[in-house]
Structure formats: structure tokens, C-alpha cells
A and B are shown apart, each in its own frame.
With several copies, the nearest count.
Chain A
Amino acid sequence: MDFEDTPEEAQFRAGVRDFLAKAAEPRPPGSGLVYRAGNEDPKFRERAKAWQAKKADAGYAGITWPTHWGGRGGSPIQQVVYDQEEAKYAVPRGLFDIGLGMCIPTLCTWGTQEIRDRFAGKALRGEEIWCQLFSEPAAGSDLAGLRTRAEPDGSDWIINGEKIWTSGAHYCDWGVLVTRSDFAAKKHDGLTYFFIDMRSPGIEIRPIKQMSGASHFNAVLFKDVRVPDSQRLGAVGEGWKVALTTLMNERHTIGGRVGAGVEDVFELARKLDLGDGPALQNGAVRDKLADWYVASQGLKYVNFRTMTALSRGDTPGPEASLGKLVNASMLQNIAAFAMDLMEQGGVLCDPNLAPVAGAFQQTLLTSPASRIAGGSDEIMRNIIAERVLGLPPEIRLDKTLPFNQLPTGKR
């Protein structure tokens, strides 16, 4: 039992360190909270593209991709090692995750050699950015309930409908899209999967403002949008199978922290006086801090166990749901608790007036999304119950009926 690299990992890490030391600037120590990277900023995107090209040249852009896709043919643990090292550097991150992690693997799995050759390399070098067009206003947790319509028209398809929760739709070049091509077929049998040029006529993109005020997502409206049949992946009616390839590759990218956490509330408790001494000396505060410390340590070592599995070449299971489930609520609870410590002044959002530059107030407003996006708490518990514990799935009445005979609500 140790935390050290295997000789192979150590050798790979040395190479990574070498590359990064030459190619990038170290991140200043204690640079504090890292909010979502600046994907919305065109300058950020330029820098991200330049960095991606450098990584690709050095062979670190598609570490786990097979060589015939243009990747390195490496292992998941190599990816972890790379990410660990890269995190120490001030480089732009996150812009290509969806494309490289989900879209292109689906293209390469289901597309022709020609499609692969055309798209994989450009995506790998950051020359084209990809997005995902899956969720709909009435199809979230129940993705297969989607109703964006695809109708054949000669060698094209005509798309009508609305997708939602698409990150970066307005700056992306290409997207992957699931549609319903047969409303009389059973729910999972009438879907067809395409990839689509995001500049196609008839596509309208509307940013979605979140309760925090930020707009990281878009609604994408399709009005008589044409897609050539050559951009179909998988057979007509087999879109669900193709979509599963995309979803299988979904992972909760670790990236920058998305809110004020245990470390910050600890720091706050050190500094804030409750009238009878620092909050850190209060028994009730200590009780909570201990809970959160223990949970976050637990998550850290759960991750180490996952990495050990990767290091061995095993595929980690749905255990990864655990981190998201625990963290999201913990962040919300920490934010609410930290604001309580600030008493009436806890309502202040102005970074110049609120402790830790208002990070707890910000987290109060962003954490509800963390409990929902990428699989809600409830879906995570279902996954754990069914895939880890082997408990039976829900009773499903919607799998056997024709889609257009299923009951629907007003929402």
C-alpha cells in the first residue's frame, strides 16, 4: 500500500513534467478559488486552442485514444498523471472536454474511416470545438423522452425542435444530436443520431441565464434545419445505442473547484469572531467542520482507490457517482453554514464587503445546479442502488408503448 507511481508511471510523469516545464507557466501558489474557466471569452478560447495544439504536438492531447484515431494509445492512469501535473500550471482548461471526451469517440466508433479522418485530428488539435445536443426541456433525467423531430427529405433530414443545456453552442463548430425519427415506435426505438454543423441555417442559439446570474448553457432551437444523411451515425432508429456510446464516455471532469469548500469554511472559522472568540472555538462549529473534513478526506481516498484501479488497468464502475452526490450537497451546506456565521452581514454579495470575496454567497447560488446538472442526486442514488447494489430498476410502463401513446404532463 503506497501512493507512489509504478516505474512506468514515474517515467511517464517525468516526460510530462519535462514538457510542461518547457511549454507552460507554473500556477502562482495560493491562487485560491478557481471558478469555471472563461470559455465564454474569445481570448481565452484563442489561448486554449494554442495550448491544445502544443499538447497535441507533444502527444498529450489524446492520451487514452487509440493510435488509429491519432491518439497516444495510453492508459487512463496516464491521463490522471497528466492532469495532476497540468493542474500545477497556468494553462487554459475545459474547452475541449466534451468534444474529445464524448463527441469524437462516438464519431470514431460509429462513423466511417472518412469521417474519423476528417474530424478526429482537427478536434484533437483544438481547431474545431464540439458540443452535445441531447437534453430537451421535457427530456432531462429521462433523456429517451426527447421529441426533437427528424424527417427524411431526399438525401437530407429536416430537424425541428429544441435542445437545452448545451455548453458553448454559440462558439462550437460541430455538435452531436439525438432526434426522434419515428414517433410511432417504442420510446427507445424511434431515435436517430447525427452530427451537425453548428452554423447550419435554421439554428438559433439562446443563452440560458442561471439563478446565479451566469450563462454557461444555451437553448438551441432547430427550425427546418437540414442535415445530410451522410452525417447520420448508426442506423435509422438506432440512435439510442449510439447515444449510449456518448454517455458512457461522460465523466465528471475534475477541473477547477466550483465553489467555496471545506478549506474556505475552516479559514473563515479561524478568522470570524462570534462575540466570544473565533468561530473555530465554538463546539457546534467544530462538530460541523469535523464532519466536512472527514467526508472530504473520504472522497479524496475514494479517488485514490479509483486511481489504483485505473493504474491496474481495471475500469472503475459507477462508484464515481459517489463523489458528485456527496460533494454537491456538502458545498450547499457549507455555503449556508458559512453565511450563518456571518449573521445578518452574510447576505452581502459584494466581494469587497463579504469574507472570501463573497465566495460562499456565490456558492449558495451555484450549488443547487451541482445537485442537478450531470445527473441529479436522485439519479445518482438510483445508479448506485441499481448498478452497485444490484437492486431492481423502477417499474417502467414507458418502454413498451409507442412513444406517441405515452402520457405526458404540462411541463
Chain B
Amino acid sequence: MNFDFSDDLKALREQARKFLRQRCPTATVRRVLEGPEPYDLRLWQEIAAMGWTGAAIPEAWGGAGLGHLGLCVLAEELGSALAPTPFASSIYLAAEAIMLAGSDSQKQAWLPKLAGGTIIGTFALAEGPGKADPGKLFTTWRGGALTGEKLPVPDGDVADLAVVAARGERGLQLLLVDLNGPGVTRHAVDTIDPSRSHARLVFAGAAAEPIGELGRGEALLRRLEERAAVLMAFEQVGGAQRALEMARDYALQRYAFGRPIGSFQAIKHKLADVWVATELARANAYYGAWALSRDAPELPLAAAAARISANEAYFLAAKENIQVHGGMGFTWEFDCHLHYRRAKLLALALGSTRLWKERLLLELEAANAPL
């Protein structure tokens, strides 16, 4: 039984933590939240230079070849630091899609650039508020040209490359689109977490090439989402842990009625419940990491459990962190809202808990002897 990361990966995590504590304090997050920059370019470049963007990309395609377990430990730290970069879009989604289903020439064309952080990728599925039903997408792909509208697309305002889900002649198809090419317009949109930019993308006959076998798009989409869900779960667990630590630290330092508020059971038991949720989420995420790293047949179930658990833990931790901070907790000045915004953003990013519960149940029904 060795249900843990290797010593090497733990060292990597420690190194990432130290780097981000120094280079990505919340002031960095706030600069993006409050200012015009869509993301922190210098941080992104430094992250790329250290090879984080290429962590799970094989060396043959310009990556570090650390495998997905390496990416998991990095994701946890990026989540903890609320890093304002297009890491998730570019790596968990765009690079992952190409690694999963890209042709050799597609891999050759894009992976080295994604690994090196010289371009930014993203993934475009949603078409406005409501479920993006694979069978009912309005964006269409015909004769190599893409037409339609995607909203919101994370980092869509700054990405160079998008993996777009659209309706083709043989059903749902994932497509590679050069966002700097003709037929693409984009506008940034306001979201609940301005520290991570989002855009509306309009395609008017943009050139788009298929990725993955024609007619197998839905299955590919599912696999892509499962893989991204595990990686994002690590970001969420990192965020939940950080929000819990903020609350704990404040509860130790803030006094009321002549004693630290952390000595009141109302606060102690609240934080105990947050810790329980976070530990359950972490354990589920670890299992997801194991399944992801081996591309195990358990991945669909493991990914769903990891995501559901992480969605719940991070939002709980973030909202109770505000509560523990009392009046200061809901000010702009305090950092509590950064986690609250991010927690809700990530909980919606790959589809809500509701959707993933449905996926989980369908898997369990299919397995028929699930537990």
C-alpha cells in the first residue's frame, strides 16, 4: 500500500509551494482581479520556464514527461495560490485533448508550444447559461468551417488555440481552431471571478480541423472532461486547504469576549466540518490521480467522485472562511472573497455537481454492482 505521491513529487510540490508563496501572493491575484491584465504574464512565463506547463507532456513533444501525477501536485499548489494564469485551460484541457486524440502532426504542431507556454490553449463548450448538451450544440462545423458562438470560454480572450466542441455531420466533434486566424472574433465578459478571464467567442466560418476520429466526439469529450476533472480537483483541494488555513489562522488571532474566537465551539466545529470535507475531497482526488495516471477503467467513476467532492469542499471552505472572518470577511480588502469567487468558478467550470452526479450514477448503473 503506497497511496501517496513519490518523494520526488513531494519535493516538486514543496518547491512549487515556495515559489508561489513568493511569486504569487494575493497581491498578484488582485492585480489581475482589479486591473486590465487578463492574466499575470510574468508569472505565466516563469511557470512555463520551470517546465510546469509541460509537466505531463512527453519529452518527445517538448514536455518534462513527469506524467499526470506530477501535474496533480502542481495543480494543488496553483489552486492554493489562486494563480491568475491560463494554466487550466491550456494544460488540463487543450494539451490534454491533443495528447488524447491528436494526430502526430497535430501533436507536433501544438504540443511543444503548449508545453513551452509560448502559446495559450483553451477549450470551448458552453453556449451561454444552461447545459451544453452534446446533442444540441448550435455551433456547427461543415466543410472545414466553424460557425457559431461559445460563451463563456475561459481565457478565450487571450488564447491562441481552442479545442472547440461543435456539431459536425457525424455528430459532436472536437475541433482545433487557430483563434488568431480569420473568422474569429472575441470579447472579454464579466464573471464572478475576474482573476480568471473569460470571453465570448464568435466563429464565422473559421477554419477548423477535426481532432479525434469522426463520429466519436462524444466519447472523446467525456474522456477529456474526466481527465480535466481530476486535475481541477487538485486545484480545488489546494484552494480548500488554503481557505481552511486562513480561517484557522484568523480564528487564532482574532479575540472577542477576551479569548480567541477559535476557542468557541461554534468556530471549532465549523472548521472541523470544513476539514472533514477537505480530507474526503483530497482522498477522492488521490484516487482520481491514481486512475488518471494509469488511464484505469475506474477513471470515469473516480473522476466523478473527485469532482463532486472537490466542488463541495472548496465552496464550503470558502464560504465558511468568510463567516469566520466576520465583518472583515466580506470586505473587498480582505482576501476571503478571492477563494469564494474561485471556488464557485471552478465548481461550474467543467459542469456542475448536478451533472457529475448524473454521470456518476450512470456509471454505477452500468457497472451494476458498484459499491
**What residues on B are CB-neighbors of A368 within 8 Å?**
319, 322-323, 329-330, 337, 340
Known: A293-B305, A411-B253. A390 touches B248 (CB 8 A): yes
Contact B126 A345 (CB under 8 A): yes
Number of A-B contacts (CB under 8 A): 326
CB under 8 Å from chain A, chain B span 333-368: 333, 336-337, 340, 344-345, 347-355, 357-358, 360-361, 364-365
Contact A392 B252 (CB under 8 A): yes
Residue A378, interface by CB 8 Å:
yes
Which listed residue (B248, B267, B348) contacts A347, Cβ 8 A? B348
* Per-residue B-contact encoding for A279-318, CB less than 8 Å = 1, 0 else: 0100010110111011111111110110110010000000
**What residues on A are CB-neighbors of B222 within 8 Å?**
none
Residue A376, interface by CB 8 Å:
yes
**What residues on A are CB-neighbors of B256 within 8 Å?**
140-142, 145
* Interface 9-mer from B13-21, B209-217, B286-294: B286-294
Residue A2, interface by CB 8 Å:
yes
Known: A301-B287, A347-B192, A348-B190. A372 touches B323 (CB 8 A): yes
**What residues on B are CB-neighbors of A145 within 8 Å?**
255-258
**Which residue on B lies nearest to A344, using beta carbons?**
B126
Residue B271, interface by CB 8 Å:
yes
CB under 8 Å from chain B, chain A span 237-286: 262-263, 266, 272-275, 280, 284, 286
* Interface 9-mer from B56-64, B79-87, B274-282: B274-282
Residue B111, interface by CB 8 Å:
no
Contact A384 B348 (CB under 8 A): no
* Interface 9-mer from A31-39, A91-99, A349-357: A349-357
Contact B286 A211 (CB under 8 A): no
Interface of B is mostly: helix
Residue A137, interface by CB 8 Å:
yes
Closest chain-B Cβ to A166's Cβ sits at a distance in Å of 12
Contact A297 B284 (CB under 8 A): yes
* Per-residue B-contact encoding for A67-78, CB less than 8 Å = 1, 0 else: 000000000010
Residue A193, interface by CB 8 Å:
no
Residue B132, interface by CB 8 Å:
yes
A325→B272 CA distance, assembly (Å): 10
Contact A280 B344 (CB under 8 A): no
* Interface 9-mer from B2-10, B40-48, B173-181: B2-10
Which listed residue (B132, B328, B333) contacts A343, Cβ 8 A? B132
Max count, chain A CB within 10 A of own CB: residue among B5, B131, B253: B131
Residue B1, interface by CB 8 Å:
yes
Residue A28, interface by CB 8 Å:
no
Residue A5, interface by CB 8 Å:
yes
**What residues on B are CB-neighbors of A342 within 8 Å?**
129-130, 348
A128→B250 CA distance, assembly (Å): 40
Closest chain-B Cβ to A209's Cβ sits at a distance in Å of 4
A396→B264 CA distance, assembly (Å): 12
Closest chain-B Cβ to A300's Cβ sits at a distance in Å of 8
**What residues on A are CB-neighbors of B308 within 8 Å?**
290-291, 294
A145→B255 CA distance, assembly (Å): 9
Which listed residue (A140, A354, A378, A394) contacts B129, Cβ 8 A? A354
**What residues on A are CB-neighbors of B329 within 8 Å?**
368, 372
Contact A336 B1 (CB under 8 A): no
A145→B118 CA distance, assembly (Å): 55
A325→B277 CA distance, assembly (Å): 11
Closest chain-B Cβ to A254's Cβ sits at a distance in Å of 15
* Per-residue B-contact encoding for A318-354, CB less than 8 Å = 1, 0 else: 0100100110000010001001111111111110011
* Interface 9-mer from A112-120, A194-202, A226-234, A401-409: A401-409
A397→B128 CA distance, assembly (Å): 56
**What residues on A are CB-neighbors of B218 within 8 Å?**
none
In the complex, 11 of the A-B residue pairs with CB atoms within 8 angstroms, ordered by the A residue number, are A1-B290, A289-B361, A290-B308, A298-B279, A304-B286, A341-B352, A343-B129, A344-B132, A372-B326, A389-B271, A411-B250
Residues of A within 8 A of B (CB): 1-6, 9, 77, 135, 137-138, 140-142, 145, 164-165, 187, 208-213, 262-263, 266, 272-275, 280, 284, 286-287, 289-291, 293-302, 304-305, 307-308, 311, 319, 322, 325-326, 332, 336, 339-350, 353-355, 361, 364-365, 368-369, 371-373, 376-378, 380-382, 384-386, 388-398, 401, 406-411
**10 further interface pairs, Cβ-Cβ under 8 Å (given A287-B354, A398-B258, A411-B250):** A1-B5, A141-B326, A266-B364, A272-B129, A272-B130, A305-B283, A341-B352, A345-B126, A368-B330, A398-B259
